[in-house]
Chains A and B, each alone.
Chain A
Amino acid sequence: MSGEAVLNAPLAVEAGQPASAPRWLRPLARGLLYVAGPLLLLVLWQGLFELRLIRPLLLPPPTKVAQAFWHLAASGELFGHVAISVLRVLEGFVAAAIAGLALGLAIGLSRPVDRATDLLIQLIKPIPPIAWIPLAILWFGIGEVAKVYIIFLGAFFPILVNTIDGIRQTDHRYVELARILEVPRLRFITKVVLPGALPAIMTGLRVGIMVAWMCVVASELIAASSGIGYLIMDARQLSQTDVVLVGMISIGVLGKLLDVALKALETRLITWKAAYKGSGA
């Protein structure tokens, strides 16, 4: 690891970085590069407003959105909506993770279970979770259960499919090795199959939580009296576009935070894999 860093250092200088840049500045430069995109967008957005090229009613400027954010945050209203949405996501996601992993393992490890469930899964999977909303409302009313159910459906399939894929991709050479060494089946599953499937499972969880996040907003847009989706819908009806944007940006930021949390978990769990991070310092 450190050897690679040493090898890369002179290359980075050649690649156009000022050779005089002190070492301590580099993390700062990387950090700036990371936030440059959003900052540029904000500047552009504010600039278009200042030049009167956009109508504030259709797209209020960042300054106005920031004000609305401040009001909503100070009154505690935003936090209340965010908390209820996050809670719904977590409930649906955890249920989906448990069910998806359990069923994924059963299908991945057993050919008869795979055969018996494959067609059903293939038929239900393409139905968007949103299409379930009418039925969910009929079945569970407009309470929490209906929303958690929609979120569950959204997160369940990515987790299920990736778990199965991960198990199916178990390296044939390790299977041979386990045969040669007469490793008992349970040990083979815990020491070979599951660690091998872990990267795919983590991908499934990350996709799953993203879909869960989309589903919570979708279900709150249609039938809810709280949550970020409700906040957006309510503001739209009152033509408060700044509040709509506060809601949208909150969704983006929270989604990013959830992904960061899962990525951190992945890095902790999968220490043996050196992923390609793209070239350049």
Chain B
Amino acid sequence: MSHIQLSAVSKRFDLPTGTVTALDGIDLSVAKGSFTSIVGASGCGKSTLLRIVAGLERQSGGHVHLEGNPIAGPGRDRGMVFQEHRLLPWLTVEQNVAFALTGLHPQEIAERVAHHLDLVGLTGFAQAHPHQLSGGMAQRVAIARALVNQPQVLLLDEPFGALDAMTRIVMQQEILRIWQAERTTMILVTHDIDEAVFLGDKVVVMSARPGTVKTIIPVPLDRPRDRSSPEFIAIRKRIFGEFFAHAEAPFAYAI
């Protein structure tokens, strides 16, 4: 049984200039504990799709179900990590992670926060303030904050898009480690094909205007994946081909 089920989901935005169809006829099922990558050019509606699953936006048509129940709004069963860390600057790392923990014994809050800071490798930084952290560290705190509620699903909206290339690769390995440790269902939206193939059990390729699912490409490779292996490159090439259908030999400039 699929964990998350999207059937014929569409989303229209009514703008003064007319109606824009952001998403059209999206069918997608996500298995429990799986890692799904969604790639697409900017403006293809991939973030909107994630926001619909998060409950931040309501679909204009179609159905979205989580464990058989329609999604009516945001809920603690779904955590989300945004492109910007969105840490509250006036709270410490510890307080940020504990931000949403209510109705628990202080002892349990402390334990859960400590566990999740340990999970993201920031044990020594509990008392630090966000402005003292690097971009990668801040995003780790955001991941800890999203996981501390123990959601069934973690939605990642281009979480490493603002990080430098080196940090991004480290964070991809980190999220993989966390996924393997926690077995949370993860859906990652990205424009980085490499990242999508490195992390996903399958890669959902979206096309733009209106946003539709162009194809879904399974990634049957063992983890950790070698980005330079022929199989990895073959899958990456295939996805690349989906975006640039008429991939001609690149024009060579002679200097």
Binding site for B on A (CB under 8 A): 173-174, 176-177, 179-184, 187, 191-192, 195, 198, 270-274
- Chain A residues touching B, majority SS: helix
Task: Provide the residues of chain B in CB contact with A184, threshold 8 Å.
Answer: 102
Known contacts A272-B129, A274-B131; is-contact A180 B56 (Cβ 8 Å): yes
Q: Considering residues B79, B89, B90, B102, which has the most beta carbons from chain A within 10 angstroms of its beta carbon?
A: B90
Known contacts A184-B102, A191-B91, A191-B99; is-contact A177 B86 (Cβ 8 Å): yes
Q: 8 Å CB contacts to A: which residues of B76-133? A: 76, 78-80, 82, 84, 86, 88-91, 99-100, 102, 129-131
Q: Which 6 A-B pairs have the closest CB atoms?
A: A181-B100, A272-B89, A195-B90, A179-B74, A180-B80, A272-B90
Known: A183-B99, A198-B90. 6 other contacts (CB 8 A): A176-B56, A176-B86, A179-B74, A180-B80, A181-B145, A191-B99
B129 touches A187 (CB 8 A): no
Nearest CB of chain A from residue B213's CB, rounded to whole Å: 24
- Chain B: which residue is nearest A181 at the CB level? B100
Q: Considering residues A176, A177, A180, A191, which has the most beta carbons from chain B within 10 angstroms of its beta carbon?
A: A180
Q: 8 Å CB contacts to A: which residues of B26-77? A: 54-56, 73-76
A-B contact count (CB 8 A): 52
Instruction: Say if the beta carbon of B149 comes within 8 Å of chain A.
Output: yes
Can you list 27 A-B pairs, Cβ within 8 angstroms, ordered by A? A173-B82, A173-B86, A176-B86, A177-B82, A179-B55, A179-B56, A179-B73, A179-B74, A180-B55, A180-B56, A181-B99, A181-B100, A181-B145, A181-B149, A182-B74, A182-B75, A182-B100, A183-B100, A191-B91, A192-B88, A195-B88, A195-B90, A198-B90, A271-B129, A272-B89, A272-B90, A272-B131
Whole-angstrom CA separation of A191 from B96 in the bound complex: 10
Known contacts A173-B84, A183-B99; is-contact A273 B89 (Cβ 8 Å): yes
Whole-angstrom CA separation of A198 from B90 in the bound complex: 11
- Chain A: which residue is nearest B84 at the CB level? A173
- Chain B: which residue is nearest A186 at the CB level? B102
Task: Provide the residues of chain A in CB contact with B149, threshold 8 Å.
Answer: 181
Q: Considering residues B55, B56, B86, which has the most beta carbons from chain A within 10 angstroms of its beta carbon?
A: B86
Nearest CB of chain B from residue A104's CB, rounded to whole Å: 19
Whole-angstrom CA separation of A198 from B149 in the bound complex: 28
Task: Provide the residues of chain A in CB contact with B84, threshold 8 Å.
Answer: 173
Known contacts A192-B88, A272-B90, A272-B129; is-contact A180 B102 (Cβ 8 Å): no
Task: Provide the residues of chain B in CB contact with A173, threshold 8 Å.
Answer: 82, 84, 86
- Chain A: which residue is nearest B96 at the CB level? A191
Known contacts A180-B54, A180-B56, A180-B80; is-contact A174 B89 (Cβ 8 Å): no
Q: 8 Å CB contacts to A: which residues of B195-249? A: none
A180 touches B78 (CB 8 A): yes
Whole-angstrom CA separation of A270 from B145 in the bound complex: 23
Q: Considering residues B55, B74, B91, which has the most beta carbons from chain A within 10 angstroms of its beta carbon?
A: B74
Known contacts A180-B54, A180-B74, A182-B74; is-contact A174 B86 (Cβ 8 Å): yes
Task: Provide the residues of chain A in CB contact with B74, threshold 8 Å.
Answer: 179-180, 182
Task: Provide the residues of chain B in CB contact with A192, threshold 8 Å.
Answer: 88
Whole-angstrom CA separation of A179 from B58 in the bound complex: 14
Whole-angstrom CA separation of A129 from B84 in the bound complex: 45
Nearest CB of chain A from residue B153's CB, rounded to whole Å: 12
Task: Provide the residues of chain B in CB contact with A271, threshold 8 Å.
Answer: 90, 129
Nearest CB of chain B from residue A4's CB, rounded to whole Å: 12
- Chain B: which residue is nearest A177 at the CB level? B86
- Chain B: which residue is nearest A273 at the CB level? B89
B88 touches A191 (CB 8 A): yes
Task: Provide the residues of chain B in CB contact with A273, threshold 8 Å.
Answer: 89
Task: Provide the residues of chain B in CB contact with A181, threshold 8 Å.
Answer: 76, 99-100, 145, 149
Task: Provide the residues of chain B in CB contact with A174, threshold 8 Å.
Answer: 86, 88
Whole-angstrom CA separation of A176 from B80 in the bound complex: 10
Task: Provide the residues of chain A in CB contact with B89, threshold 8 Å.
Answer: 272-273
Task: Provide the residues of chain A in CB contact with B56, threshold 8 Å.
Answer: 176, 179-180
Whole-angstrom CA separation of A129 from B242 in the bound complex: 69
Known contacts A173-B84, A187-B102; is-contact A180 B79 (Cβ 8 Å): yes
Whole-angstrom CA separation of A273 from B130 in the bound complex: 11
Task: Provide the residues of chain A in CB contact with B99, threshold 8 Å.
Answer: 181, 183, 191
Whole-angstrom CA separation of A270 from B78 in the bound complex: 33
Q: Considering residues A173, A179, A195, A270, which has the most beta carbons from chain B within 10 angstroms of its beta carbon?
A: A179
Whole-angstrom CA separation of A181 from B74 in the bound complex: 8
- Chain B: which residue is nearest A173 at the CB level? B86
Q: 8 Å CB contacts to A: which residues of B165-181? A: none
